[in-house]
């Protein structure tokens, strides 16, 4: 009798568990209709930031400012028209961006398409932020509620020059020996700023037995979007300038000149074998 009761209980539990895994008929179906909206308008702020890598070589970018199809059906193409309000936008057409049309087409089978806006990254300086006020004005399916937004355009200039570098002084104008050796490009907390803990690499004081010892000799080198410059004076308060003569893979030749000390030409070779991502002047 006990066995019959136990079997009955197990059967009831099995039936209950099986019913938990049966399809309850609750398939989710999109019933919100079909419409288009501007991706940048879907954020809490009503805008989106777009950043581009500036290479200082004429490279341009598709803006990545997208229009979205919100629909369960993507079987047909959708054409979307838009405008840019030049009276409120700070970005200038032909300077910071170009436009190749006033509409975009979301192809069949797709839910997203970029607006035909090209960003001219080389014309945007580090720290600058330019805005585009964009509105969707018409589409071959209804427009949604989120159709206007401000897109902000800015650039990034990654700099990777830190490391141990071999140097060879090719010539100098102060009569010292043409020295060679290695030293470290030390990156400072500010992006793209490096320190040379010397400015004549020992050649000047070897010739004259003075002058760098006992005084700071640090020069700060700044890389702004692949353009090098010296951003500090030497220990005597004398400004220096730098000209990049040539770049060939991991070798770079520069001419350094000072207002107080005549300059020199130096070849730098990266010990890590990486290419100097720097433009000649």
Domain boundary pick from 136, 156, 176? 156
Closest C-alpha to 69, from 140, 17, 119, 20: 140
Give the chain's domain count: 2
Domain boundary pick from 98, 126, 156? 156
pLDDT band at 240 (very low <50, low <70, confident <90, very high): confident
- Its domain, for residue 92, covers 35-156
User: In this structure, are 168 and 252 located in the same domain?
Assistant: yes
Task: List, for residues 172-224, the tens digit of each pLDDT value.
Answer: 887 778 889 998 999 988 778 898 877 777 776 666 666 544 344 577 899 98
The whole-angstrom separation of Cα 280 and Cα 89 is 35
Closest C-alpha to 65, from 92, 45, 47: 47
User: In this structure, are 99 and 199 located in the same domain?
Assistant: no
Residue 132 lies in a domain: yes
Q: Is the pLDDT of residue 64 over 50?
A: yes
Is pTM beyond 0.85 here? no
The whole-angstrom separation of Cα 79 and Cα 102 is 10
User: In this structure, are 56 and 84 located in the same domain?
Assistant: yes
What's the confidence (pLDDT) of residue 210? 61
Task: List, for residues 17-58, the tens digit of each pLDDT value.
Answer: 444 444 444 444 445 689 999 999 999 999 999 999 898 889
């Amino acid at each position: 009798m006990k066995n019959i009761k136990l079997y009955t209980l197990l059967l009831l539990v099995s039936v209950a568990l099986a019913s938990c895994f049966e399809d309850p008929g609750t398939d989710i179906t999109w019933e919100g209709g079909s419409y288009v909206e501007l991706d940048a308008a879907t954020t809490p702020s009503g805008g989106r930031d777009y950043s581009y890598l500036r290479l200082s070589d004429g490279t341009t970018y598709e803006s990545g400012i997208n229009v979205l199809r919100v629909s369960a059906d993507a079987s047909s193409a959708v054409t979307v028209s838009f405008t840019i309000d030049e009276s409120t936008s700070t970005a200038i057409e032909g300077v910071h961006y170009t436009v190749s049309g006033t509409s975009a087409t979301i192809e069949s089978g797709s839910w997203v398409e970029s607006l035909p806006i090209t960003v001219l990254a080389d014309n945007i300086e580090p720290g600058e932020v330019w805005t585009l006020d964009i509105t969707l004005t018409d589409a071959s399916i209804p427009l949604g509620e989120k159709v206007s937004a401000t897109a902000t355009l800015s650039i990034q200039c990654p700099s990777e020059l830190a490391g141990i570098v071999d140097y060879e002084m090719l010539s100098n104008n102060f009569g010292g020996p043409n020295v060679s050796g290695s030293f470290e490009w030390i990156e400072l907390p500010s992006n793209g700023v490096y320190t040379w803990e010397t400015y004549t690499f020992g050649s000047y004081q070897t010739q004259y037995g003075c002058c760098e010892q006992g005084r700071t000799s640090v020069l700060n080198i700044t890389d702004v979007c692949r353009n090098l410059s010296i951003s500090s004076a030497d220990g005597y308060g004398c400004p220096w300038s730098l000209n990049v003569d040539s770049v060939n893979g991991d070798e770079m030749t520069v001419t350094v000149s000072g207002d107080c000390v005549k300059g020199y030409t130096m070849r730098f070779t990266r010990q890590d074998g990486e290419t100097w991502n720097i433009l000649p002047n």
